[in-house]
Structures are given as structure tokens and as C-alpha cells.
Amino acid sequence: MSLIEASRPAFTAERIVAGYPVRVPMVDIQVIGAGGGSIARLDDAGALKVGPISAGADPGPAGYGRGGEQATITDANLVLGRLNPVTLLGGRLPVDLTAAQRAVQEQVAGPLGLSLKTAAEGILRIANAGMARTIRSISTERGHDLRRFALFAYGGAGPLHAGDIARELGIPRVIVPAEPGTLCARGILHSDLSFDLVQTRIMPARPESWPAITEAFGALAGTAADILDHERVPDSDRRTTCVIDARYEGQNFEVHVGLDGLDLGGDVNALDREFGERFRAAHAAAYGYDIPGRAVEIVTLRLKIVGAVRKPKATAIAASVEGKATPTGQRAVYFDAATGWLDTPVYDRGRLPIGAEIAGPAVIEEMSAPTLLHPGQRATTDAAGNLIVTVFAG
């Protein structure tokens, strides 16, 4: 999970990886073990846990019929009819529904004295709660109002769970891109080259410090240019951003202060004054307060140079421009205890007309990922091929 505001992802300079602090610039992404292969099990106290241990893709969930015996999130979705109980991946992967039911019954439902559907629903509720909790940690806990955002759902199972999670978090809209199961692979192929150069220069933020800072950034820029020369990136496809990590004197944590629009070779007094204002604003945004009159200390200089990668042109989606969405089938789907089992229409995403509206309950299937619409939710396809799901009217 990560948060993107005003088309810019959030970045961080410190993360805990495998229990160790890693201090390098990176997109601020929070990761939990909640994939389709995440195993549902009872802990030593008899409580139901889901993930982070995973059955992986081989042998995978019990429902794959490849020798897996552990109950997983995928098996729970199969038991409740949310996934196609016959085949997945557009008919490429046969499904063993009986094996999925047996795994959930023997490992969860039986030991807890629950019905099969209640146990499967419990598995999904725990998984969804974990995802929702992680989204809160990067949004509401940092002062963001989730009602202003859309939930972008991708991967093989993201669109299957997004309706539940958005409803719990109060997010009004879900966006499901075309071919969501291959989004990450396409993304890395189309991503720009990016290099971060860092130099520690602990000094007070004063006018007399800026000539040394300007000289240091110049040296970093020269190194960055050599890197992109080696990558054969044309000058026209390069862009550079400079950031300073700074803190109030006496603190042991820093905030990032962008230098966009500042003339590092200009008047040092004006430069120092503008930097101070930006630092105080960044500190207040990150921690909710600033300390008027406290001296500011510069800690780290960061220069990011990006080499733009030429992007392929988007192709027109294979969908009719007008007409009504017509189901290709129907099956029973269990949504929750209050709703129970519902006869639910199934749609082929590749046949959806642009602009046609689908009212939930519904399942929208495609090769890489199914999308689940709960009762009361609505979806339409835009001209770019995205599914736009309205979670709450208004």
C-alpha cells in the first residue's frame, strides 16, 4: 500500500527491512502478507490468523489442485463463490472446489465449530482488516482524509477485495486498471531510470553555509550526469531534483525539504530565509507543530536525477462505444452474514461497453483478475479501459 497525492507518491528515507533499518530513498510502501496464497491457521491460543506465511504459487492454495493442502485466502474466495469455481486465468487453470472446501473445513471451520461459509468469511474479514489497517497507517494516521482519495486496486486479487476495504475505510471510489494482474510488470518496464546521490553535510542553516551547499550539489550533479551519460540518456530526457534533510537543533530525526524553484547561486540571505520557511512548513506537516526561534541544522544533501524512458502509446480498448452490459452467466455468491447467498450475474470485462453501468451484486471476470461488486455498488468502464467503481453514492 502507498499513498499518491496530487500525482506524486510519498517517499521515505528510512525503512525497516527484515528487522534492520535501511536508510536509502525509496517510495513509501507498506507491505503485509495478504496475497491469495496467504495461509489461514489457528495459533497456539486457538485464534484464527491469516498470513504472512504463504503457500505461494507452487503448490499454492488447495483449490489449485496441485498438491497444496493449506487453507488460504484463495480457497476462502472459492468457497464463497467470489472466484470462479471451475477455472481461473481465463480457463487456463482448472479449479478443485472440493479440495478448497475440505481445507477450510478441516483446518478452520471444524476446529472452531463454525459453518464452512462462516469460516471462509472470517478468513476474508481478517485479511481485509489487515489491509485496511495498513492503509490507515499511511493515510488517516498522517492527517489525510480518505474521503478525498480513490482506492487503486491491482494485482490478481486486489479488485476482489477492494469493495470490502473501501467500504470499511469510507473511500468513495475504486479504480481497477485494465489487466490489473499484470500492472506491476508493465509498470517496471515503463518506469524511468532514477538515481539518488547522497552526501552528509552537518552544518547550521545560515546564510554563510549556502556557498558550500551549492558547491556540494554541483559535485553531485556532475556525478549524476556521468551516470546518465553511461546509460546514454539524452540531455532532453533528464531532470534533476534537490532535497535537504534538516532538523531543529537537538532533534535526532529529519524532514525532507525540497529546493524546487530556489536559485542556489542567488542571494544567500533570501535563500536561507526561503529554506527556513519551507523547513518549518514541512516539519508542521509531518509532526503537527514547529518551534519558532529554534535554530535549524542541515544534515543530508540529496540529489535525484531521472532519465525519462519513452513510453509506448496506449492502445484503444476492445470495447463497444455504446450499448448495455450483458451478463455471460450467473452463480451464487456469499457476501456477508447479513446478505447471505445471492444469485449474482457474471460479466466478461472484455465485452463491457464504454460507459455502461453495472449495478452490484456482480462479478466482473477477466484473465488476470476478477472484480467483485457488492450490493449497492456500481461500476462503469471509462474510455481508457479503467473500471470505476462507486462505493458510496453522493
Task: Give the global pTM.
Answer: 0.79
Does 365 fall in a domain?
no
Among the three residues 78, 107, 126, which one is the final residue of a domain in this structure?
A: 126
> What is the tally of structural domains in the chain?
2
Does 213 fall in a domain?
yes
Collect all residues with Cβ–Cβ distance below 8 Å to 52 and sequence separation of at least 6.
32, 33, 34, 38
Instruction: Render pLDDT for 321-336 as a digit per residue (tens, 0 to 9).
Output: 567 889 999 999 999 9
Domain around 80: 38-126
Does 63 fall in a domain?
yes
Does 92 fall in a domain?
yes
Question: CATH code at 299?
Answer: 3.30.1490
| Residue 74 pLDDT greater than 90, yes or no | yes
Does 214 fall in a domain?
yes
Spatial separation of the C-alpha atoms in residues 71 and 87, rounded to whole Å:
18
Q: Are residues 209 and 115 in the same domain?
A: no
Does 116 fall in a domain?
yes
* pLDDT band at residue 34 under the 50/70/90 scheme: confident
Instruction: Render pLDDT for 293-322 as a digit per residue (tens, 0 to 9).
Output: 899 999 999 999 999 888 877 665 555 556
Burial of 144 (0-12, 13-18, 19+ CB in 10 A): middle
* pLDDT band at residue 15 under the 50/70/90 scheme: confident
Q: Are residues 288 and 196 in the same domain?
A: yes
Does 76 fall in a domain?
yes
* pLDDT band at residue 244 under the 50/70/90 scheme: very high
Q: Are residues 294 and 198 in the same domain?
A: yes
Does 111 fall in a domain?
yes
Residues 290-319 as b/e (b if ≥16 CB within 10 A, e otherwise) read eeeeeebbbbbbbbbbbbeeeeeeeeebeb
The answer to which of 90-104, 241-255, 304-318 has the lowest mean pLDDT is 304-318
- Omega prior to 59 cis, within 30 of 0: yes
Q: What is the pLDDT of residue 394?
A: 52
Spatial separation of the C-alpha atoms in residues 5 and 8, rounded to whole Å:
5
Among the three residues 90, 109, 126, which one is the final residue of a domain in this structure?
A: 126
Among the three residues 252, 273, 307, which one is the final residue of a domain in this structure?
A: 307
Q: What is the pLDDT of residue 93?
A: 86
| Residue 25 pLDDT greater than 80, yes or no | no
